[in-house]
Structure 1
Amino acid sequence: MSIDTELFEVIEPAVQSIPFVYNSPHSGRRYPVSFLNQSRLDGLSIRRSEDHFVDELFSAAPAMGAPMLLAHFPRAYVDVNREPYELDPRMFSDPLPPYANSNSARVAGGLGTVPRIVAENMEIYQGRIPLSVAMARIDSCYKPYHACLRRLVARTHTRFGFSVLIDCHSMPGNIRVSGSGVRPDFIIGDRYGTSASGELSQAALQFLEELGFTAVRNKPYAGGFITEHYGRPARGLHALQIEINRSLYIDEVTLEKRSDFDQLAGSIGVFMQQMADFVADYAGERPLAAE
């Protein structure tokens, strides 16, 4: 069963048989015409912030017994992996409300809830925009998306006694681990052990490495708002962020899929099944614990 709105989609399994929820918040590629008309960027440049086709890479989730939530709206339009009101005062023709967070590092970098730039520091807008535009996007996209994600996680936790949220993302191909020069294929983020059990993170790294990938933990991406907000391992709520190196599966200039896209998707499917089996075996012995 699929619940599809213009904004996001939940693809449900016939029966949820594993305590996982998969989430792809940045793979949306439906660009409103009004938004494109406000932008100074062309149709290809505006897509540079997408987690291209990540929803397809993890599309095996429902067949394995887990629901999958995916955004249709693009990250450049509104970013649900932020606090609800991380807003940049430089973007707007009106003053920000007092509850807005305008001092975060993400806002300073131009990547707040309503982003000022896409990747490679390209300005999205031709000039300042009304604050009401941002507020409308937060009310119509951000809040319903998180309400849906909360329901999925709460339902899973109630049914199984614990839940594992896998937050699925991609990263540029030129990312290196500081101090080592390693170019990771995957990064597992658990907010330095605060959003998921150490056993879960280590299992994810091990399975990816056994599949032939280079995988690292937390550097340079430890997880964003979703991982931080939904991960409460002491309560049985685990959240992992997974970043995939885009150069593995797309041409980063044309944004077209590489010929081995399906092969990578197959490997990710194997990884997902291994994670499900690990959690089933481990939880049968003792609950997943916080690190």
Structure 2
Amino acid sequence: MSEASGEALFEVLEPAQQLLPLVLNSPHSGRAYSPDFLAQSRLDALSIRRSEDPFVEELFSAGLRLGAPMLKAHFPRAFLDVNREPYELDPRMFDGALPPYANISSLRVAGGLGTVPKLVAENMEIYRTRLPVDSALGRIETIYKPYHACLRKLIARTHVRYGFAVLIDCHSMPGNIRVTGGASRPDFIIGDRYGTSAAGELSRAAVGILEDLGFSVARNKPYAGGFITEHYGRPSRGLHALQIEVNRALYVDEASLEKRAEFPALATMIGLFLESFAFHMMKYAESLPLAAE
């Protein structure tokens, strides 16, 4: 991963013992920006972080204490976005022909936010020049595919052990995000792909717990979940996926991306959320017909 960093691509944080049918995933909180990558970019070292979900893996770290593993990226989202299809690529970014199976016409590609992003937030272009197409394909082979293989393994291991698995995909959102058609700025958004990636009982439980903790919560608007939520959520097979977006303004200064004084308190509240959600999750699992067999 010479263009991104000399560090490990990603890491699985394992609890002492897995006690829950729960897997946490933090695909956008990576902040290992290599000198080579920064040299390719027209952005400075702070501006290039505008698409990052800063410190999200720390906000959800209580999951480890409760007995849930977490997969976290070290590579930055600006370098490679694993919450996309593997080949959502913009041909205008590259020198050389993309493979015929590349998805070059998705809305995300059109918006500059493909698997290898063209832009960071606020429509700032990342690169000084076009990239060799082999660079994009290499990132997919050496980072994207191993990352998803690892995530699949965690989910499959959990499902085999419990007959049931829930993935929480952990993200953050800009503080100025408003609910579609309204003026409210939610603290959290729960995405379940409009009921297709997780059982409604689990989505409603997540919303209700956060509201009981005093937060404003929206569901699916404006974020219903990305590729990861859609791809791994198969409720009919006992595989459920929820995306959680945390309002960034609650815990970081959005200009400097430094932690706010409120960070530890929010992490504690998210720990309370995970603890209560785990209880509801287990009660739901016990209600399933297979649980009695």
Aligned to 1:168: 170
Cα deviation code 1:36-92 (max 9, x no counterpart): 110000000010000010000001111111100000000000000000000001101
Aligned to 1:60: 62
The residue type equivalent to 1:69 in the other structure is: L
Match of 1:32 among 9, 31, 34: 34
Establish whether residue 251 from structure 1 lines up as the match of residue 244 from structure 2: no
SS of structure 1 residue aligned to 2:24? strand
Aligned to 2:103: 101
Give 1:287 deviation, angstroms. Answer: 5.6
Out of 59-68 and 163-172, give the one that drifted further.
59-68
TM-score, scaled to structure 1: 0.96
The residue type equivalent to 1:233 in the other structure is: P
Contact map agreement 2:26 2:73 (CA 8 A) in 1: yes
Contact map agreement 2:164 2:285 (CA 8 A) in 1: no
Structure-to-structure mapping, 1:143-182, within 5 angstroms: 143-182=145-184
The residue type equivalent to 2:266 in the other structure is: L
Out of 236-245 and 29-38, give the one that drifted further.
29-38
Aligned to 1:80: 82
Give 1:286 deviation, angstroms. Answer: 2.8
- Cα distance change, pair 63–41 in 1 and its aligned pair in 2 (3 A): same
Q: What is the rounded CA distance, in whole Å, between the counterparts of 2:132 and 2:255 in structure 1?
A: 32
Task: State the percentage of identical aligned residues.
Answer: 70
Q: What is the rounded CA distance, in whole Å, between the counterparts of 1:209 and 1:202 in structure 2?
A: 10
Cα deviation code 1:244-274 (max 9, x no counterpart): 0000000000110000100000000000000
Establish whether residue 260 from structure 1 lines up as the match of residue 258 from structure 2: no
SS of structure 1 residue aligned to 2:131? coil
The residue type equivalent to 1:41 in the other structure is: L
Establish whether residue 9 from structure 1 lines up as the match of residue 11 from structure 2: yes
Q: What is the rounded CA distance, in whole Å, between the counterparts of 1:285 and 1:197 in structure 2?
A: 12
Q: What is the rounded CA distance, in whole Å, between the counterparts of 2:164 and 2:282 in structure 1?
A: 11
Structure-to-structure mapping, 1:193-208, within 5 angstroms: 193-208=195-210
Q: What is the rounded CA distance, in whole Å, between the counterparts of 2:128 and 2:286 in structure 1?
A: 56
TM-score, scaled to structure 2: 0.95
The count of corresponding residues between Structure 1 and Structure 2 is: 284
Q: What is the rounded CA distance, in whole Å, between the counterparts of 1:73 and 1:161 in structure 2?
A: 32
RMSD (Å), alpha carbons: 1.0
Give 1:102 deviation, angstroms. Answer: 0.5
Contact map agreement 2:191 2:244 (CA 8 A) in 1: yes
Q: What is the rounded CA distance, in whole Å, between the counterparts of 1:112 and 1:287 in structure 2?
A: 40
Give 1:169 deviation, angstroms. Answer: 0.2
Aligned to 1:283: 285
Give 1:97 deviation, angstroms. Answer: 1.1
Unpaired segments ≥5 residues, structure 2: 1-6
- Cα distance change, pair 226–277 in 1 and its aligned pair in 2 (3 A): same
Q: What is the rounded CA distance, in whole Å, between the counterparts of 1:287 and 1:131 in structure 2?
A: 50
